[in-house]
Amino acid sequence: MSVSTCQMKERYNQQGFLSAVPVLDDTELREARQAFNHLEREFGEEYTQYSLHNVHLQYPWVMGLAKHPHILQVVQSILGSDVILLDSRFICKYPTSPTPHPTATQAGNDAITLTSEEEVRSLETDQQNETGLPFVAWHQDMRYWGIAGGPVLSVWLALDDSLAESGALKVIPGSHCSGLLPHQLASRPGNMLSVNQEIPEELVQTDSALLCPLLAGQMSIHDGFLVHASDPNTSQKRRCGFVIRYIPTCAYPVQDPDRPRHFHATVMASGSDQFNHFSTLL
């Protein structure tokens, strides 16, 4: 393991996330975007916004992204060498407003920085006035994943720039250490979470929120217990990302009526499985 990978693992364990990790080169990014654009033309934007679920089983180019060596290098440094690809989904926020907001801080052409908590709060104030636009409420992924015995790690691979005005990921650093927080039915219209839930506002330490902008071809990674959200896309550009969930082979599905999940698309991403917890594992 390289020193830089060791440092990323340490930061991940402390903060619960990593951001702006380079993955795709220019050629790989161009090819992935062309392939996704083809699906967009075939199925339409209403479908590709959220319904391209577990298509790594259908399209070799999607499987190639999920098993990209630059992704797996970081994932393995955190989860170990034996890793299962649990689930995947493309998520797109399409442009809905003709008036863009100020962009996230960008340094040069190939680096992008976390946006301060003051900028996050300013953006939230502006975007609270945008009723009904698609957004993702504050939540923890583990509220929806019936998995025990090991962590769930989520990757967001950006096919488009994911900036402040296009609804980039925002996180509460260190919140993965707080355990599972209560969730309730969301009252604000437009929540993209399929169960329309959110963590009550009084339990979210929004003063410490950080925005995690990405350039196309970069990825962010976060722990299943990390509190995170994203605001509406108020830019004039699409914001598309590929979300991939990974678990170590020691993790197993649980029967939880509050988290009813079926895992029909599990694939060995690396290493070998000595536990056999998933009967459908490919």
Going residue by residue through the chain, which has 282 residues, state the pLDDT in tens, using 9 for 90 and above.
Answer: 565 888 999 999 999 999 999 999 999 999 999 999 999 999 999 999 999 999 999 999 999 999 999 999 999 999 999 999 999 999 999 997 544 433 333 433 344 455 554 554 445 444 444 457 888 888 898 888 889 999 999 999 999 999 999 999 999 999 999 999 988 878 788 777 767 788 888 999 999 999 999 999 999 999 999 999 998 999 999 999 999 999 999 999 998 776 667 899 999 999 999 999 998 888
CA distance 20 to 24: 12
Inside any domain, residue 110: no
- State the alpha helices, DSSP H only, in the chain: 3-15, 26-43, 45-48, 60-66, 69-79, 117-127
Inside any domain, residue 193: yes
* φ and ψ of 239, to 5 deg: -125, 105
Inside any domain, residue 123: no
Counted domains in the chain: 1
Tokens of 177: 């250490």
What CATH number has the domain bearing residue 66?
Answer: 2.60.120.620
* φ and ψ of 27, to 5 deg: -65, -45
- Do residues 277 and 253 make contact, with C-beta atoms less than 8 angstroms apart? yes
CA distance 20 to 131: 29
CA distance 251 to 151: 7
Inside any domain, residue 101: no
Rounded to 10 degrees, the C-alpha dihedral 120/122/124/126 comes to -150
Inside any domain, residue 109: no
Angle at 111 between CA 157 and CA 222, to 5 degrees: 35
Inside any domain, residue 214: yes
- Do residues 205 and 175 make contact, with C-beta atoms less than 8 angstroms apart? yes
Inside any domain, residue 115: no
Distances 125 to 7, 93, 231, 249 between C-alpha atoms, Å: 35, 19, 11, 42
User: Domain range for residue 48?
Assistant: 5-93+131-270
pLDDT at 260: 67
Q: If residue 176 lies in a helix (H) or strand (E), which one and from where to where?
A: none
- Give residue 202's identity as a one-letter amino acid code: E
CA distance 70 to 28: 12
CA distance 145 to 154: 11
Inside any domain, residue 119: no
